Amino acid sequence: MNVIFVSGLVQRRETVQVQGGSLLTKLTIRTEENYISKAGEPKTSHTSFDIVCWGNLAQQTEHYLDGSYLQVRGRMANRAFEHQGNKRWKWELIAANVELIVEPMIAPAAAPAEPPAAEEKAPTLFGGDDGQGPA
């Protein structure tokens, strides 16, 4: 089952190297659904999904910050595992593509100890140095 989620990242777990040398990063996103209850009250429902990223995608996503908004495309997979002697099932999204849409607002970094070096003049779109068009 192929799916696309656009959602906020709520947890990024560390990237690990598994047997065979492949990289694995697991992320958790949370979707939000707004609706009106039978009593006419506005309600919000949240659902969390685990995202599994392999290889280059694992490396790409390992630095994403909680609160980032992502577009994740992939396939849903159901896997079985044992928990306290009981067989459990878990749905995960195996990512084929993850795009960073919006990074979270973070506190500004501390001011640099030294003033910045003199600014270099940036080249213009047309290659001239006066900003007035072609050279």
pLDDT digits (tens, 9 = 90+) for 9-58: 998 877 899 988 899 999 999 999 999 999 999 999 999 999 999 999 99
Question: H or E stretch including 43?
Answer: strand 42-54
Going by C-alpha positions, the residue among 27, 34, 33 that lies closest to residue 10 is 27
Is-contact 42 36, C-beta < 8 A? yes
Going by C-alpha positions, the residue among 9, 79, 100 that lies closest to residue 49 is 9
pLDDT at 106: 66
pLDDT at 109: 53
Count CA within 13 A, CB hemisphere, residue 5.
Answer: 28
pLDDT at 13: 78
pLDDT at 113: 52
Which of 127 and 45 is assigned the larger pLDDT?
45
pLDDT at 119 over 50: no
